[in-house]
Structure 1
Amino acid sequence: MDVLIVGAGPTGLALGIDLARRGVDALVVEAGEKLFPGSRGKGIQPRTQEVFDDLGVRDAIRAAGGLYPPRLLWKNGERVATEPMFDEVTADEGAPYTEPLMVAQWRTQEVLYARLRELGGRVEFGRAVTDVAQDADGVTARFADGTAVRARYLVAADGGRSAVRRAVGVGMTGEPVDPSPFLVADLRVRGLDRDHWHTFAGDDGTGVALCPLAGTEDFQLGAKLPEGTRPELSLAGIRRLVSTYSHLDPSDVTELRWASDFRPRAALADRFRVGRVLLAGDAAHVHSPAGGQGLNTSIQDAYNLGWKLGTVLAGRAADPLLDTYEEERRANAAAMLDLTTGVHRGEVRRGEATVQLGLGYRESSLSEETRKDPGPVRAGDRAPDGRDAAGVRMFDVFRGPHWTLLSPAPVEGFGGRPAPESYGPGIFLVRPDGYVGWAGDTADGLREYARRTGALDAA
């Protein structure tokens, strides 16, 4: 087996899809007996929508959810004010998706799972990893049932309490974001419209919010509780909580479907790679859910890692290519932790800062900008959408597990098609994950870069 992916959350499933379409022999294992049942990560940011477009699931994701409603503030049973959840980000040709989607996490996982199965991928449930050992040739994972699996590489996508991370001795460095306990739950509620995100704030900064979950009949409850409070996750406890902060009666909460409590913390794994073991998603970074960054950052981890694993396993590039996964993603994750903490504390607004369209890798060793006078799109930047002179859309050209050369004239061994005018002058080699890897005034140096990164044989 080429890759063992531990964890069937959004990270593991997205990575499984990317590897499956590359013909990589991969297995996803999940400690639970089924997919995660809750709504926890419900925001799908515009950059993730672009990734889902490439992975072939964006239409299904859109059908599974909807747009965010405005926030409705309540006080003493009266409607006080309505405000948008996000600052508006204007769409243009280069960024056609600018509005976050709301999709319950369990629905996102269903869509990803179905796509993985469609591509021939495999998920085994009830497989809890208890130990990991590696040598120069591969990794052996041992399970609670006494069995073992060996693979050339292992990816830990098993969440914030990652058993794999502990097994390979990687620590996490961080700090609490808020001393208050928080609670999130999926429930059925009567007496509230589904056109608003209903917010009931206490005078001491605590409170509850009830958000209608698009594509379902449920509401998601989010609550900040007084310090020292022990969250009650039973139906009776949730009813008391809702009736304490809102005008609703306890009986208006008719059903509790899932509940969890947490204390917001921002922490980053000290390493994202230990030999043949790589950490992704919450196994590598934990944070406040404010701003809807976690699931999305985790999907970016998978998207960054997938093409690199595929390239190394196919023998088109040497193993050190995988070192650039930590180089690129750990820096992005660190910035995300600062952002989510800022949103949580009310220092950063949701909007331009949170849609993730501006994230990139200009400082990466994989980004080579050789032009004397670079235009608006540089090596390391997200490759924007747009249309070339023939009217061909870039996202249609990029879709699939390949590199793309954008050049005003064909380049031997690569072909190429012209970039949209919005890119500015130059030649651009776009990575499989939609970022510009190399940019130049001429093709000088392109072949050497392509050989180092595995793009030459893939073009």
Structure 2
Amino acid sequence: MTDDGVLIVGAGPTGLTLAIELARRGAGVRIVDAAPAPHRESRGKGLQPRTLEVLEDVGVTERALAAGTTRLPFRKYFDGAHVNDTDPFADARPTPDAPYERGVLIGQWQVERLLRERLAEFGIAVEAGTEVTGFEQDEDGVTAVLAGGERIRAGYLVGCDGGRSRVRKAMGVRFDGTTDETQSMVVGDVEAEGISRDVWHQWFASDGSGVMLCPMPGTNSFQFQAGPELDASGDPLPPSLEGFQRIFDRYAQVPGITLTDPTWLSLWRVNVRMVDRMRVGRVFLAGDAAHIHPIAGGLGMNTGIQDAYNLGWKLALATAGQAGPGLLDTYEEERLPVAAWTLGISTDLYARVREAVKEPGTGVEAAAPPPMGTGYRWSSLASPAATVTTAATGDPAVLRPGDRAPDAPCLGASGNPVRLFQVYADPRFTLLGFGAEVAGAVGKLGAEHDDLLQAFTVDGGGGDLRDHEGHARRAYGVTDPALVLVRPDNHIALLTRDPAEVADYLSRITTFPPKE
């Protein structure tokens, strides 16, 4: 790797996603992990719809859907009696602009395996058993120090090394928040022959405690979740298979079921923490290294993947010399508020879960998380300072710069079906020109900015794309001729009718001023 490449520390979902994003854009990347081998723990076990959109762009969603399941009813019991079976997403349907109406249940180790396989397609493998203990940085790059004394030189370093991040500690940033020692949970992966695997079992009792067994797709294991056993002083006992069995027998009240073959046993405490900065010079933080969440909602893994998706294209442009010095500042500008929002949401979800288990008529599904990844309207990449105009739409209720770019079914020039998300899989910016009136400008902009931009006419000038059912125009609020510029991470950059504004925006990316 050359000195302008990127060193990623940590090969969980966040680090792997970032490595793929950099590799598919041709950036030099090296990814190391302190663990000697990949784990096989279910941990965060759900990918949300927005994350599936992200991973489709990365090239992994189809594999994740094949490995996991999107339909698993919740079966609730109260004081040993069956109460109900529910599917909170039973009425959800995909729409032209949002193809994933529900998330997918899949173990975190499986997600990581799929990401490693995708990364290997670019000729890059995780360097396991490689621990970064510190780093030094200067104006030209970063020198990471390994446990054995070896030094690695890179243009940038990204800490994706989890809640106990050594990179974060070496950066000297604050990690504000709380750890609630009074609220804890034991979690693990076990087998349980004789228990149905077609529902998520949730046994609760009138004292507010309980146990849950969630069958993990593609395995013989269940993820076990429960409040811990306590010792005489009220402190949680260390997790053990024997303890799991006692908890199960007490709350499930299902005789003859023996828990076996534990592959993961963990004691989890409620942590709500985030950094005050996600960047110090040439060093960045992403995922749990920057923010840790309560377990409810599965927001930790999803937020980390979306961190990587935001940072990847910006780092790739920076390493290629195509980005102004301030473009990298927009990573923290955009993702730090999302982390703060997510921490508030996940904390509230955890509280709602704890309340839900006390009532026979409610279930954990009542704590289903709200959608993530709705956009960055506050960003300087979407602000009036970027000469953005919404004159193409004229309606403040429709899309604005910074918003997530919707999907839509279209037809390609040959008449074959193609979705906008498939078009956006190109690592560059995408320009959509709606109407024959802007077709000439679209072709000219595409030719002049080929290194940054792919450009398509929609229903005009021969039509690279045909909006044959009108879904694209409706999704983007287009009624008149319009130019829609979409960022490489599939967010709206610009809505306009003026080709000069598109050229100005792309030029600004290459000269973006640094934060004062």
TM-score norm. by structure 1 comes to 0.94
Partner of 1:429: 485
Partner of 1:376: 398
Structure 2 CA distance for partners of 1:87 and 1:272, relative to 1, 3 Å = farther
- CA deviations on 1:402-430 (whole Å, 9 max, x unpaired) are 11001122322224322721112232110
CA contact (8 A) 1:403 1:429 kept: yes
1:355 aligns with 2:337: no
Task: Report the Cα offset of residue 68 of structure 1.
Answer: 4.2
The DSSP-based 3-state class of the residue aligned with 2:38 is: coil
The residue correspondences of 1:151-190 to structure 2 (distance < 5 A) are 151-176=154-179, 179-190=182-193
Partner of 1:292: 298
Partner of 1:314: 320
Partner of 1:43: 46
Task: Report the Cα offset of residue 250 of structure 1.
Answer: 7.9
- CA deviations on 1:205-247 (whole Å, 9 max, x unpaired) are 2221001112221100111237734243222222222222222
The DSSP-based 3-state class of the residue aligned with 1:24 is: coil
Structure 2 CA distance for partners of 1:225 and 1:393, relative to 1, 3 Å = same
Cα distance in 1 for residues equivalent to 2:418 and 2:146: 49
Cα distance in 1 for residues equivalent to 2:91 and 2:511: 37
- CA deviations on 1:230-274 (whole Å, 9 max, x unpaired) are 243222222222222222458610211111111112111111001
Question: What count of residue pairs does the alignment treat as equivalent?
Answer: 454
The DSSP-based 3-state class of the residue aligned with 2:297 is: coil
CA contact (8 A) 1:11 1:298 kept: yes
CA contact (8 A) 1:206 1:225 kept: no
The DSSP-based 3-state class of the residue aligned with 1:432 is: coil
Cα distance in 1 for residues equivalent to 2:257 and 2:118: 39
1:403 aligns with 2:419: no
Partner of 1:9: 12
Partner of 1:123: 126
The DSSP-based 3-state class of the residue aligned with 2:273 is: strand
- The one-letter code of the counterpart of 2:379 is S
Task: Report the Cα offset of residue 41 of structure 1.
Answer: 0.9
CA contact (8 A) 1:87 1:350 kept: no
CA contact (8 A) 2:324 2:511 kept: no
- CA deviations on 1:320-379 (whole Å, 9 max, x unpaired) are 11000000011111111111111111189445x53325x201110001540231462221
Cα distance in 2 for residues equivalent to 1:200 and 1:229: 23
Cα distance in 2 for residues equivalent to 1:129 and 1:169: 16
The DSSP-based 3-state class of the residue aligned with 1:400 is: coil
Partner of 1:79: 82
The DSSP-based 3-state class of the residue aligned with 1:406 is: strand
- The one-letter code of the counterpart of 2:427 is P
Partner of 2:498: 442
The residue correspondences of 1:20-39 to structure 2 (distance < 5 A) are 20-39=23-42
- The one-letter code of the counterpart of 1:49 is L
Task: Report the Cα offset of residue 447 of structure 1.
Answer: 1.0
CA contact (8 A) 2:433 2:456 kept: yes
Partner of 1:230: 236
Question: CA RMSD, aligned part only?
Answer: 2.2
Partner of 2:287: 281
Task: Report the Cα offset of residue 16 of structure 1.
Answer: 0.6
Partner of 2:223: 220
Task: Report the Cα offset of residue 74 of structure 1.
Answer: 1.7
1:247 aligns with 2:273: no
Cα distance in 2 for residues equivalent to 1:15 and 1:339: 25
Partner of 2:273: 267
Structure 2 CA distance for partners of 1:85 and 1:424, relative to 1, 3 Å = closer
What 5-or-longer segments of structure 2 have no aligned partner? 354-364, 447-454, 459-466
Which stretch shifts more, 113-122 or 435-444? 435-444
CA contact (8 A) 2:177 2:272 kept: yes
Cα distance in 2 for residues equivalent to 1:360 and 1:267: 22
CA contact (8 A) 1:129 1:143 kept: yes
Cα distance in 2 for residues equivalent to 1:221 and 1:231: 16
Task: Report the Cα offset of residue 87 of structure 1.
Answer: 7.7
CA contact (8 A) 1:239 1:250 kept: no
Structure 2 CA distance for partners of 1:232 and 1:387, relative to 1, 3 Å = same
Structure 2 CA distance for partners of 1:191 and 1:179, relative to 1, 3 Å = same
The DSSP-based 3-state class of the residue aligned with 1:179 is: strand
CA contact (8 A) 2:32 2:126 kept: yes
Structure 2 CA distance for partners of 1:132 and 1:86, relative to 1, 3 Å = farther
Which stretch shifts more, 221-230 or 39-48? 221-230
Partner of 2:358: none
- CA deviations on 1:31-74 (whole Å, 9 max, x unpaired) are 10111321011101111111111111111111111124122122
Partner of 2:509: 453
CA contact (8 A) 2:8 2:158 kept: yes
Partner of 2:61: 58
Task: Report the Cα offset of residue 176 of structure 1.
Answer: 4.0
- CA deviations on 1:62-116 (whole Å, 9 max, x unpaired) are 1111124122122343212222355854421000111110010111100000110
Cα distance in 2 for residues equivalent to 1:181 and 1:87: 31
- The one-letter code of the counterpart of 1:371 is T
TM-score norm. by structure 2 comes to 0.84
Task: Report the Cα offset of residue 124 of structure 1.
Answer: 0.5
Cα distance in 1 for residues equivalent to 2:82 and 2:212: 14
Cα distance in 2 for residues equivalent to 1:192 and 1:85: 22
Cα distance in 1 for residues equivalent to 2:63 and 2:156: 30
1:386 aligns with 2:408: yes
- The one-letter code of the counterpart of 2:429 is W
Cα distance in 1 for residues equivalent to 2:284 and 2:316: 14
The DSSP-based 3-state class of the residue aligned with 1:193 is: coil
- The one-letter code of the counterpart of 1:354 is P
1:416 aligns with 2:456: yes
CA contact (8 A) 2:80 2:251 kept: no
